[in-house]
Amino acid sequence: MCAILLALVPAAPAFADAPTSTPTPTPSATQEKLEDGLALSGGTVRAIVELTDPAQNAPVARQAAADSVDVVLRPESQPFMVVQGTAEELAALAVDARVTSIHRDRAYPPTAASNLTQIGADQAHARGFVGTGQAVAVLDTGIDEDHPNFGGRIVDEACFSAVDAGVESLCPNGQTTQTGKGAADAMTAKCLADGKNLCEHGSHVAGIAAGNGGVAPGAGIVAVQVFSRVNDESVCGEASCLLAYESSLRLALDYVAASSQPIAAVNLSLGGQPSEGSCDDSEEGTVFKPKIDALLAKGIATVVAAGNEYFEGTSFPACITSTVAVGANDDSDAIADFSNRGAGVDLFAPGVDIDSSVPDNQTAVYSGTSMATPHVAGALALLKAQSPQTPMTELIDKLKAAGRPYVYQANNTQVTTPRLDVLAALTGSAPQPPITQTPAPAPEDPDPADPDPEPDPSDSSGPTPSPEPSETNPTPVPLPTLTVTVTVTVTPKAPATVCTRGTAGTRLTAKKWAVELHRSTGKLPDATLTCYLSLVQKASTVFPELTKASSLGTAYRVLRAGKTNREKLDAALLTGWLNWAHGTNGTTTLKSAEKVRLTVESTNAALKKAAKSVLPK
């Protein structure tokens, strides 16, 4: 996602076993292969090396290893590999003509009624529509295989779980890959931390899609574990959390594409950076869209959570146009306060207070677009079981055409998005009457204003706060329970609110945000501030990888630094993103300023100008 602090090294000679007939790339061509900001990296970076074709995988890996680049993943018959290397090593690797590009191996967090009556699923079941003969592939945190809610309908399992420094595999065999029975077990020791199961998200999602009380109770479940356990407080906000690496997701999608199971839909209840429009042409989009298109051509829909940022757009990968992007509504037929919305959302589905299975034969109530997404995945299993020869694109269109229209404003335009009605789609009934929604509009990007005085680095009044908040973050971005409740049936707890953008009307300066982040002086609750930082982590390309700002203490220190022009820009950017999370400004100027921050040759004047553009008046 971001950057570090070294200049690109000059182009090195072509590797010895590179084809001699291919000209050595020029330094500028080599630099173009590297993701923006990658050459700023300090220390080593986990990166995906894209290759011209799968046949180059082995020879390039051998040469990389010979040059002391750590090859951490080399999937056979794939046109990529994953390495761990310094900025200089990656730049040297980019010289090889067989390498087409190098970018970070990004990691994505889960997007964290069954309201079957609202979508007509209960009546569909009564008429015999239960999804028999189809399956839903749930790419998530694994599944409780023995949970009575699944009734022996888990038809296949797999695990793709990346490892790194401080990152452990969740595959039961301890390796990065495992297939077959038990491969996606969510009850392993690595799933447990401080008396809780970090892997419950996948069982909850699977239960909504195809559990005994889910949308398609006759469908099979292909459980694919794609997350890794991260043991890093600066990333998690607590001791441990889960993230899904891009490399794991790519292998999982390929596994589904090669499956012999009759799969109707892939469920991805996870998400990364929000996007106001299509991300088909982004770095990640150009990798994932062909895989999603190939699945669609095979009759498999990729159904993705739109995100919980209260954003007029969708999170990655829901911003890829060939996915089915799903937002959340509540039981009163209103868009959920936390849900992303807008023209990029294909369907809304129930996502508030959804009761479903969690490990150890229990159930829990969660809210979020993570919960809405499997309603749609299960609905597509019902439609495909009814009409297995119909192309999936037509089934998706049928589902959207039958939905109850929600009419609302997003990005200054009237938008109509259907709310899932699977019974109407199955029976050909006319859609229910439209409902005009009145969600509070997301704030627009203001004109750049003159900044307040920047933080005074000499002002060290007050103790330095501890690096972590004192109370548990209810919805930290990396956690699989992104959307909070948590009323487990055995030991119920009071539900909490979903992590979402605020609705404040006043922008705060860097100094005032520093006061808020200081645990002894701020007015905003720690939980709210930690939520804001989790939203910043998803939306920004600078935080937290380039500048650690994922906890209250580290964010406070970023705001109070301000010694160099880069540090001043970091403080300004964090101020701007916190104001965005607080609900007071948009992202256009912030993203422009981040491009300056990620440019190696940015001058002090450019850094100062970028900082000034994003600070509030």
Q: What pLDDT does 547 receive? A: 72
Token pair listed for 560: 């109070």
Token pair listed for 569: 């820009």
Q: What pLDDT does 457 receive? A: 33
Q: Kindly list the domain boundaries of the chain, sorted by start residue.
A: 27-105, 121-168+199-229+244-430, 444-617
Q: Which has more pLDDT, 63 or 600?
A: 63
Distance CA 367, CA 330 (A): 9
Distance CA 225, CA 248 (A): 9
Any idea which of 39-43, 92-96, 474-478 has the lowest mean pLDDT? 474-478
Rg value, the chain, Cα:
24
Residue 37 backbone phi and psi in degrees, to 5: 85, -10
State the pLDDT confidence band at 526, using cuts at 50, 70 and 90: confident
For the ranges 105-119, 475-489, 550-564, the maximum mean pLDDT occurs at 550-564
- Residue 334 in this model has a pLDDT that exceeds 90: yes
Distance CA 62, CA 70 (A): 10
Q: Which has more pLDDT, 427 or 529?
A: 427
Q: Which of 410, 345, 342, 405 shows the shortest CA–CA distance to 372?
A: 345
Q: Which of 322, 332, 315, 316 shows the shortest CA–CA distance to 300?
A: 322
Residue 264 backbone phi and psi in degrees, to 5: -90, -35
The average confidence (pLDDT) of the chain is 82
Residue at token pair 């009457």: 433
Q: What pLDDT does 548 receive? A: 66
What is the pLDDT averaged over residues 562-574? 84
Residues that are catalytic: 140, 201, 370
Dihedral angle sign, alpha carbons of residues 196, 497, 365, 379: negative
Sequence-distant (6+) residues with CB within 8 A of 160 are 171, 176, 177, 224, 225, 226, 247, 248, 249, 251, 252, 255
Any idea which of 214-223, 444-453, 533-542, 547-556 has the lowest mean pLDDT? 444-453
State the pLDDT confidence band at 441, using cuts at 50, 70 and 90: very low
Distance CA 10, CA 170 (A): 40
Q: What pLDDT does 76 receive? A: 80
Q: Are 134 and 381 in contact (CB under 8 A)?
A: yes
H or E stretch at 571? helix 565-582
| pTM for the whole structure | 0.67
State the pLDDT confidence band at 111, using cuts at 50, 70 and 90: low
Q: What pLDDT does 320 receive? A: 97
Sequence-distant (6+) residues with CB within 8 A of 617 are 449, 450, 451, 452, 507
- Residue 182 in this model has a pLDDT that exceeds 70: yes
* Model confidence pLDDT, tens digit, residues 274-292: 888 999 998 889 999 999 9
Assign residue 401 a region (left: φ > 0; alpha: ψ between -120 and 50; beta: otherwise). Answer: alpha
Distance CA 215, CA 124 (A): 9
Per-residue exposure over 35-61, b if at least 16 CB sit within 10 Å of its own CB, e if not = bbbbbbbeebbbbbbbbeeeebbebbb
Q: What pLDDT does 28 receive? A: 65
Q: Which has more pLDDT, 465 or 512?
A: 512
Distance CA 292, CA 140 (A): 17
Q: What pLDDT does 67 receive? A: 84
What is the pLDDT averaged over residues 468-489? 32
- Residue 21 in this model has a pLDDT that exceeds 50: no
Assign residue 105 a region (left: φ > 0; alpha: ψ between -120 and 50; beta: otherwise). Answer: beta
- Residue 17 in this model has a pLDDT that exceeds 90: no
Q: What pLDDT does 299 receive? A: 97
Q: Which has more pLDDT, 194 or 293?
A: 293
Q: What pLDDT does 195 receive? A: 82
Written as one string, the DSSP assignment of 350-395 is: E-SSEEEEETTTEEEEE-SHHHHHHHHHHHHHHHHHH-TTS-HHHH
Q: What pLDDT does 341 receive? A: 95
What is the pLDDT averaged over residues 324-345? 94
Q: Are 517 and 556 in contact (CB under 8 A)?
A: yes
Token pair listed for 70: 């750590």
State the pLDDT confidence band at 109, using cuts at 50, 70 and 90: low
Distance CA 288, CA 392 (A): 18
* Model confidence pLDDT, tens digit, residues 208-249: 999 998 999 999 999 999 999 999 887 787 889 999 999 999
* C-alpha of 218 from chain center: 29
The percent helix, strand, coil of the chain (3-state, each to 5) is 30, 20, 50
> Do the two domains 27-105 and 121-168+199-229+244-430 of this chain adopt the same fold?
no
The domain made up of 121-168+199-229+244-430 has a fold known as Rossmann fold (3.40.50)
Q: What pLDDT does 225 receive? A: 98
- Residue 529 in this model has a pLDDT that exceeds 50: yes
DSSP helix/strand/coil, 155: strand
79 upstream amide cis, omega within 30 of 0:
no
Residue 578 backbone phi and psi in degrees, to 5: -65, -40
Distance CA 19, CA 274 (A): 40
Q: What pLDDT does 145 receive? A: 93
Distance CA 387, CA 368 (A): 30
State the pLDDT confidence band at 110, using cuts at 50, 70 and 90: low
- DSSP label at 172? T
Distance CA 566, CA 370 (A): 37
* Model confidence pLDDT, tens digit, residues 49-83: 999 999 999 899 988 888 888 898 888 888 999 99
- Residue 112 in this model has a pLDDT that exceeds 70: no
Hey, how many other C-beta atoms are within 10 angstroms of the C-beta on 418?
Answer: 23
Kindly give the pairing relationship between strand 135-140 and strand 220-225. parallel
Q: Which has more pLDDT, 309 or 385?
A: 385
CA angle 102, 106, 112 (to 5 degrees): 160
What is the pLDDT averaged over residues 569-580? 88
CATH H superfamily, domain 27-105: Peptidase S8 propeptide/proteinase inhibitor I9 (3.30.70.80)
State the pLDDT confidence band at 577, using cuts at 50, 70 and 90: confident
- In the sheet with 107-108, reading across from the earlier edge strand, the strands are 107-108, 241-245, 228-230, 167-169
Q: Are 119 and 261 in contact (CB under 8 A)?
A: no
Distance CA 81, CA 69 (A): 12
Q: Which has more pLDDT, 600 or 472?
A: 600
Q: What pLDDT does 485 receive? A: 33
- Residue 538 in this model has a pLDDT that exceeds 80: no
Q: What pLDDT does 41 receive? A: 56
Q: What pLDDT does 106 receive? A: 80
Q: What pLDDT does 497 receive? A: 57
- DSSP label at 144? -
The identity of residue 327, as a single letter, is G
DSSP helix/strand/coil, 348: strand
Q: Which has more pLDDT, 145 or 465?
A: 145
